[in-house]
């Protein structure tokens, strides 16, 4: 199925599709109005699994507006073209093998490839918001309004703020696949990862609340007194402490319940969303509780919790971006409100600093969530592409196997298939696929009076009769355990006892013959034409297999096969003619009478063959078959209805792949169902163990690791943008709060240079290259292309931001050590070093909490680099926490020299260790997030790598399929069957107006063929014949013979034709006729070379004719391409009436070849069976000159040869019948 230029659509035939509600986690079986989902605009991505959406026209999967390309085909065979915009064409299924034969412009495009931008969309897609509710008319009006804008309006809309607005609109838009079934699969695909993140988050929150509860209970049980020399920063208030204990206990209970729920295997995405809402409520509750507990003593601890909760909401919770933005805004605004009205913080710089920090946390969260969402959806599309490629290869394997098995038995087909797929071997002889079977029964059947029947119908009707009749015979053969061997015009022959031996093989062939006679009796009764079946059966030994390199057809050879053929020739119409060997196998189960076959056939007489005729059992009397009314044409349709063909509408395969089967699955549904099973069976832990190392997470395979390091991260610029925002935030806070600390600012100058230069260097890849900066642009492109180099710059950037904060932290800590007893000597801001009028408490913890906030911002700047390996992130995060704790210890020792301060042993545990606990929990959360992110990226890369490998396998399979199908059917015929969605029972036939037909036989090969123990019962004779036919086939590979198509080879007779298609029928210069003449001459020369090397004396006899033919495929279960018509009959007679080592041609061929400079010689008038007398010629040699043709050979054709005239005869058996 070709996809539309975004992603594929699901067929509108929803009544044939399995109800997707049955596969959802909540098992909601309620029925819904098909249009109800479009009215519920509020229900978006997270509720996708609860709805069964109608398949919208166009049915693209991604939430971005696209239009289909004109070549976009449908996903099912019989659906009408779906409405679409633009110049959409009729959609066809890309699950058809014929795409391997078509041009590349017609090939199918993977929807996933288009989705991720590998293949450009046309027209450009809209990406702002969901187009589930978009209107093409509305889009058109928007374009028209934009065209009517004035230049000033255009400049306004292209201004900086307009671009920023559009960027934010794009970032905050709903990332959702347009098709809700695919969206549901996406949710399930990352369900386990989200479930793992939620489990880690809830566990961490549970531990955090337990720690808070422990230190709160410690303060509650063992209250500490105020020091004598001054008030404590905050007096112990049992009511607030009790609230803190109760809040912590409630959160512990909630987290324990949520952890139990989220750990269950039956978890689904809807439950995760509900759980995330509960967690957000606890975040706000804990923030309020902390702020009220500390009030004015440490109001910034609430900001610490708010910053941590904000970033964790974006990074570890499965919220969509809009929900996360709303949650982050609520947490930030609530904290600002609490700072002002509860914490009594009225200073502008302090409030401004908190606002900037919380704003930075939200921006960093967006820069973490958005790249992760885009990368995950891209990974999902690539995974879906991998599944699609795998199923496509599987389907093509099944298709090619069915094609092969439709012509060859399984035991032969599997051997040949393995040889085709394997490496070619250099051997002296071509491999021969021949097997010997004893005790089989061979049945030959020929339609008597078929010429009379063909006179009453057109050529199309003639092919249709053969197709329907032989389809009935194929079904009878399957019922009676017979293997159909080949069709030779109106001759049908099969064998029982192949490929597996059967003790009742003779009974099977006799029953088969009797049923064939009954079937032809129906035709005789309905058509009122004297037609009958002549059946001959013999039991013996056969060699079966295929010969040659092209147009494989399973065949049997042996003297017993020859005898069975003559048994049919010497039989009686309407009777089953058997030999004595067959009668012995039948025992007394049938009544027989003498056959006297020697009176009707000289071969039987010469070999003294005793024959018998089966007396039809009484139970095979005339039976009346009920008439079924179906809209068919004339008497032929009535005949087929009586034979039971009218009930097969659209069920049997186009290439005869079996009996009626149930409706095939839509390829889209098949991909989704397979993906559903793969997702359910997918184990992230197993994949990590199999492909990645435990701690480092690098691939165990160095080749994969090298390829992964060459992967480009498209969001690298956004990472550096976020770190730049964090850097700006830190600078603003330092200037606002630590304005007099010049030492830290002076030491930070080199770091400031790095933090300014590196982002500019990275951004240069996104702007137009200018003169004078080529080396910088080259470095920028290298950073984006090489993952190792990018990680180095990311590490430098993150470490520099952290160092910038640490300079400030340690500078302040060491200055505290140098303080005198006077607190005013503290080199800090006056706003933070005063005493409050209420309790004269020292505000030094403001500084500690501000430094903690800056350290957390630097950690966020490190965590946002999703390209950075988790090991480096862990080093920076642990280093940052260790540095802050060390500075905190130094700071606490220093501040005890200040008279306003307390002895640390007398301060409550909540006051001393709250910031340490929060920082430790935040660092652990960031480490877990880094580990999970890198593991997900690496596993997604593994899936992408598998997709690439399978696409390469598909390319190899394309060439494989070409070779395979070309060895069974002509390419243009395979294209007809595999590249179109027609009625499965529709007959394939075509009228070819001017075809050159050649028959080449080796008449004395029968003298060479003997079955002796020395030559493996004739196998070595067949090996030589295989070499001859293979040499004939190899000649067709030459460019000068591109007009020629091999039709078949039967025994030692080779049949070919040229001019069967418009591309190969040259009606101007008749190159296809001259190519056939050259080919015949080459065959004669080639056989002479074989005689020289094999020390044999084979003689070739060739006949050539031109004229109109009917080409088509006969056989429902086992398709066989063939051509019929009077021209074919005459070509066969040119061979059978020819002279050995001569090429006999008709008068029409002679006119063309003579005009082209070929030397010919008139043989004279000869008698030809079915044609009376004919003047024929011999082709003497290759062309000497090539003058222009002035004679129109079509003018010499009689009325019986015209294309619209029914064929008077068909190709019958290649050997002329008596």
Average pLDDT estimate for 120-132: 37
> Any known ligand binding at 447?
yes
839 or 1073, which is more confident: 1073
> Any known ligand binding at 455?
no
What is residue 697's predicted lDDT score, i.e. its pLDDT?
A: 84
pLDDT(369) > 50? yes
Of the candidates 114, 252, 442, 447, the residue annotated as catalytic is 447
Average pLDDT estimate for 1054-1076: 90
Helix (H) or strand (E) holding 133: none
What is residue 978's predicted lDDT score, i.e. its pLDDT?
A: 61
> Any known ligand binding at 367?
no
Average pLDDT estimate for 610-628: 64
Contact 1211, 462 (CB under 8 A): no
Average pLDDT estimate for 97-122: 36
Contact 11, 76 (CB under 8 A): yes
175 or 868, which is more confident: 868
What is residue 415's predicted lDDT score, i.e. its pLDDT?
A: 80
Across-strand partners of 992? 1109
Please write the tens of the pLDDT for every residue from 839-862. 334 455 677 888 899 999 999 999
993 catalytic, yes or no?
no
Of the candidates 88, 219, 474, 490, the residue annotated as catalytic is 490
HSE at residue 877, side-chain half, CA atoms within 13 A, is 27
Of 777, 920, 803, 800, the residue nearest 865 (C-alpha): 800
d(CA 571, CA 603): 12
Average pLDDT estimate for 526-542: 88
Average pLDDT estimate for 18-22: 39
Of 253, 249, 255, 252, the residue nearest 220 (C-alpha): 249
Across-strand partners of 1121? 1113
d(CA 1008, CA 60): 66
What is residue 742's predicted lDDT score, i.e. its pLDDT?
A: 59
Task: Tell me which of 43-52, 203-212, 1081-1090 is least confident.
Answer: 43-52
What is residue 657's predicted lDDT score, i.e. its pLDDT?
A: 39
When computed from its CA atoms, the radius of gyration of the chain, rounded to whole angstroms, is 43
Of 392, 233, 399, 10, the residue nearest 848 (C-alpha): 233
d(CA 59, CA 180): 10
What is residue 684's predicted lDDT score, i.e. its pLDDT?
A: 66
> Any known ligand binding at 1122?
yes
> Any known ligand binding at 777?
no
Tokens representing 365 are 């969260």
> Any known ligand binding at 32?
no
What is residue 364's predicted lDDT score, i.e. its pLDDT?
A: 95
Of 864, 621, 863, 831, the residue nearest 719 (C-alpha): 864
> Any known ligand binding at 1202?
no
Average pLDDT estimate for 702-727: 88
Please write the tens of the pLDDT for every residue from 987-1025. 678 888 899 999 999 999 988 988 888 888 888 899 999
Count of CB atoms situated within 10 Å of the CB of 176: 24
> Any known ligand binding at 446?
yes
Contact 1131, 999 (CB under 8 A): yes
> Any known ligand binding at 122?
no
Average pLDDT estimate for 470-484: 89
What is the end-to-end Cα distance of the chain in Å, rounded?
Answer: 52
Average pLDDT estimate for 494-509: 92
User: How many helices (H) does the chain have, and how many strands (E)?
Assistant: 37, 16
State how far the alpha carbon of 882 is from the alpha carbons of 847, 894, 914, in Å: 18, 18, 16
State how far the alpha carbon of 1196 is from the alpha carbons of 679, 964, 1109, 1191, 1202, in Å: 70, 40, 16, 10, 11
Peptide bond just before 123 cis, omega within 30 deg:
yes
> Any known ligand binding at 1130?
yes
Please write the tens of the pLDDT for every residue from 554-602. 889 999 999 999 999 999 999 999 999 999 999 889 999 999 999 999 9
Tabulate helix, strand, coil % of the chain (nearest 5): 55, 10, 35
> Any known ligand binding at 25?
no
Across-strand partners of 1113? 1121
pLDDT-above-70 percentage for the chain = 69
Of 402, 391, 393, the residue nearest 974 (C-alpha): 402
Please write the tens of the pLDDT for every residue from 250-300. 999 999 999 999 988 878 888 899 999 999 999 999 999 988 888 767 788
Question: CA dihedral in degrees (1077, 1080, 1081, 1082; nearest 10)?
Answer: 120
1162 or 415, which is more confident: 1162
> Any known ligand binding at 752?
no
Say whether pTM exceeds 0.85.
Answer: no
961 or 67, which is more confident: 961
> Any known ligand binding at 920?
no
447 catalytic, yes or no?
yes
Please write the tens of the pLDDT for every residue from 1173-1190. 999 999 999 988 655 544
pLDDT(984) > 50? no
d(CA 879, CA 884): 9
> Any known ligand binding at 449?
yes
Across-strand partners of 577? 536, 613
Of the candidates 446, 474, 515, 1135, the residue annotated as catalytic is 446
d(CA 471, CA 1116): 5
d(CA 287, CA 327): 13
pLDDT band at 5 (very low <50, low <70, confident <90, very high): very low
> Any known ligand binding at 224?
no
pLDDT band at 517 (very low <50, low <70, confident <90, very high): very high
| Mean of the per-residue pLDDT values of the chain | 74
Q: Which residue is associated with the tokens 């079977």? A: 437
What is residue 663's predicted lDDT score, i.e. its pLDDT?
A: 52
Contact 78, 666 (CB under 8 A): no
> Any known ligand binding at 671?
no
What is residue 535's predicted lDDT score, i.e. its pLDDT?
A: 95
pLDDT band at 463 (very low <50, low <70, confident <90, very high): confident
What is residue 620's predicted lDDT score, i.e. its pLDDT?
A: 59
**What string of DSSP letters covers 1114-1172?**
E-SSS-EEEEESHHHHHHHHHHHTS-TT-EEEEHHHHHHHHHTT--EEEEEEEEETTTE
Quote the DSSP letter at residue 1215.
Answer: S
pLDDT(924) > 90? yes
> Any known ligand binding at 982?
no
Helix axes 191-221, 684-691, angle to 10 degrees: 100
> Any known ligand binding at 463?
no
Average pLDDT estimate for 786-806: 91
């Amino acid at each position: 199925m070709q996809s539309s230029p975004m992603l594929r659509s699901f067929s509108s035939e929803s009544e044939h599709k399995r109800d997707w509600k049955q596969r959802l986690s909540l098992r909601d079986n309620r029925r819904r109005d098909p249009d109800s989902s479009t009215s519920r605009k509020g229900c978006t991505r997270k509720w996708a699994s609860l709805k069964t959406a109608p398949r919208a026209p166009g049915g693209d999967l991604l939430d971005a507006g696209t239009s289909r390309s004109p070549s976009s085909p449908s996903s099912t065979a019989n659906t009408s073209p779906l409405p679409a915009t633009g110049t959409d064409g009729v959609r066809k299924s890309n699950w058809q093998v014929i795409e391997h034969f078509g041009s590349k412009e017609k090939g199918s495009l993977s929807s996933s490839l288009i989705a991720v931008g590998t293949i450009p969309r046309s027209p450009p897609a809209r990406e702002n918001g969901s187009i589930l509710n978009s209107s093409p008319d509305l889009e058109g009006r928007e374009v028209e309004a934009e065209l009517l804008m004035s230049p000033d309006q255009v400049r306004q809309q292209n201004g900086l703020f307009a671009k920023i607005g559009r960027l934010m609109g794009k970032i905050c838009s709903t990332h959702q696949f347009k098709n809700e079934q695919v969206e549901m699969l996406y949710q399930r695909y990352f369900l386990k990862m989200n479930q793992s993140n939620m489990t880690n988050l809830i566990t961490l929150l549970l531990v955090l609340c337990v720690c808070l509860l422990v230190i709160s209970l410690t303060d509650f049980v063992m209250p500490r007194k105020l020091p004598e020399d001054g008030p404590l920063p905050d007096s112990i208030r049992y009511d607030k402490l009790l609230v803190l204990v109760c809040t912590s206990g409630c959160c512990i209970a909630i987290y324990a319940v949520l952890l139990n729920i989220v750990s269950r295997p039956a978890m689904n995405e809807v439950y995760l969303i509900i759980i995330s809402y509960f967690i957000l409520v606890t975040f706000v509750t804990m923030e309020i509780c902390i702020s009220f507990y500390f009030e004015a003593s440490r109001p910034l601890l609430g900001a610490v919790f708010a910053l941590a909760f904000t970033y964790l909401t974006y990074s570890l919770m499965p919220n969509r971006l809009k929900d996360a933005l709303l949650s982050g805004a609520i947490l930030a605004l609530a904290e600002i409100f609490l700072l002002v009205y509860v914490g009594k913080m009225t200073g502008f710089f302090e409030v401004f600093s908190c606002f900037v920090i919380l704003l930075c946390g939200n921006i960093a969260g967006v820069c973490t969530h958005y790249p992760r969402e885009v990368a995950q959806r891209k990974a999902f599309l690539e995974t879906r592409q991998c599944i699609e490629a795998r199923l496509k290869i599987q389907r093509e394997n099944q298709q090619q196997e069915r094609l092969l098995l439709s012509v060859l038995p399984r035991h032969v087909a599997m051997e040949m298939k393995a040889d085709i797929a394997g490496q070619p071997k250099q051997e002296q002889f071509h491999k021969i696929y021949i097997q010997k079977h004893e005790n089989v029964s061979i049945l030959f059947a020929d339609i008597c009076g078929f010429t009379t029947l063909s006179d009453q119908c057109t050529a199309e009707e003639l092919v249709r009769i053969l197709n329907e009749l032989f389809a009935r015979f194929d079904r009878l053969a399957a019922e009676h355990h017979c293997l159909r061997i080949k069709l030779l015009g109106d001759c049908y022959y099969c064998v029982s006892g192949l490929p597996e031996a059967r003790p009742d093989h003779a009974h099977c062939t006799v029953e088969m013959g009797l049923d064939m006679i009954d079937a032809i009796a129906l035709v005789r009764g309905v058509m009122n034409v004297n037609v009958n079946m002549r059946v001959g059966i013999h039991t013996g030994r056969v060699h079966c297999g295929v010969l040659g390199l092209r147009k494989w057809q399973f065949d049997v050879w042996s003297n017993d096969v020859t005898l069975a053929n003559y048994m049919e020739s010497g039989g009686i119409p309407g009777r089953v003619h058997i030999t004595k060997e067959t009668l012995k196998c039948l025992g007394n189960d049938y009544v027989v009478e003498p056959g006297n076959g020697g009176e009707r056939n000289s071969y039987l007489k010469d070999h003294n063959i005793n024959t018998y005729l089966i007396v039809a059992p009484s139970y095979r009397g005339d039976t009346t078959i009920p008439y079924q009314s179906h809209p068919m044409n004339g008497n032929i349709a009535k005949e087929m209805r009586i034979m039971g063909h009218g009930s097969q509408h659209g069920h049997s395969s186009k290439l005869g792949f079996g009996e009626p089967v149930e409706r095939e699955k839509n390829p889209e549904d098949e991909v989704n169902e397979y993906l559903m099973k793969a997702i359910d069976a997918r184990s992230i832990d197993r994949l990590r163990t199999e492909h990645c190392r435990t701690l480092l997470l690098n691939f165990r395979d160095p080749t994969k690791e090298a390829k992964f390091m060459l992967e480009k991260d498209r969001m690298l610029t956004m990472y550096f943008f976020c770190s730049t925002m964090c850097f700006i935030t830190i600078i603003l806070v330092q200037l606002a709060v630590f304005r007099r600390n010049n030492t830290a600012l002076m030491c930070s100058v080199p770091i400031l240079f790095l933090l300014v230069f590196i982002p500019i260097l990275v951004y240069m890849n996104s702007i137009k290259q200018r003169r004078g900066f080529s080396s910088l642009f080259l470095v920028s492109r290298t950073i984006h292309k090489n993952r190792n180099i990018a990680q180095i710059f990311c590490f430098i950037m993150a470490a520099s931001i952290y160092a910038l904060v640490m300079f400030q932290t340690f500078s302040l800590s060491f200055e505290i050590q140098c303080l005198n007893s006077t607190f005013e000597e503290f080199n800090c801001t006056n706003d933070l070093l005063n005493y409050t009028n209420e309790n004269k408490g020292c505000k030094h913890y403001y500084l500690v909490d501000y430094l903690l906030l800056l350290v957390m911002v630097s950690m966020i700047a490190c965590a946002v680099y999703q390209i950075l390996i988790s090991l480096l992130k862990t080093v920076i995060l642990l280093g940052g926490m260790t540095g802050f704790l060390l500075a905190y210890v130094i700071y606490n020792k220093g501040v005890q020299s200040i008279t306003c301060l307390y002895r640390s042993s007398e301060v409550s545990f909540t006051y001393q260790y709250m910031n340490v606990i929060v920082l430790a929990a935040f660092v652990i959360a960031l480490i877990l997030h880094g580990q999970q992110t890198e593991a997900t990226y690496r596993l997604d890369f593994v899936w992408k790598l598998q997709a690439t490998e399978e696409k390469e396998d598909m390319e190899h399979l394309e060439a494989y399929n070409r070779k395979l199908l070309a060895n069974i059917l002509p390419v243009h015929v395979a294209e007809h069957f595999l590249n179109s969605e027609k009625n499965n029972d529709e007959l394939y036939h075509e009228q070819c107006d001017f075809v050159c037909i050649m028959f080449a036989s080796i008449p004395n090969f029968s003298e060479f063929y003997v079955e002796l123990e020395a030559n493996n019962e004739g196998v070595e004779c067949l090996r030589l014949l295989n070499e001859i036919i293979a040499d004939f086939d190899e000649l067709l590979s030459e460019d000068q013979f591109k007009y020629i198509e091999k039709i078949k080879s039967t025994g030692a007779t080779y049949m070919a034709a040229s001019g069967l298609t418009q591309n190969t029928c040259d009606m101007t210069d008749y190159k296809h006729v001259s190519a056939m003449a050259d080919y015949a001459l080459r065959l004669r020369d080639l056989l002479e070379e074989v005689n020289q090397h094999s020390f044999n004396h084979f003689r070739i006899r060739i006949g050539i004719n031109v004229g109109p033919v009917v080409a088509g495929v006969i056989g429902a279960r086992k398709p066989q391409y063939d051509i019929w018509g009077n021209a074919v009959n005459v070509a066969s007679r040119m061979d059978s009436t020819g002279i050995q080592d001569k090429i006999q041609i008709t008068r029409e061929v002679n006119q063309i070849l003579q005009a082209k400079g070929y030397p010919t010689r008139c043989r004279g008038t000869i008698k030809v069976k079915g044609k009376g007398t004919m003047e024929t010629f011999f082709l003497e040699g290759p062309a000497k000159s090539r003058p222009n043709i002035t004679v129109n050979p079509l003018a010499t054709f009689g009325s019986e040869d015209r294309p619209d005239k029914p064929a008077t005869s068909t190709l019958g058996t290649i050997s002329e019948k008596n």
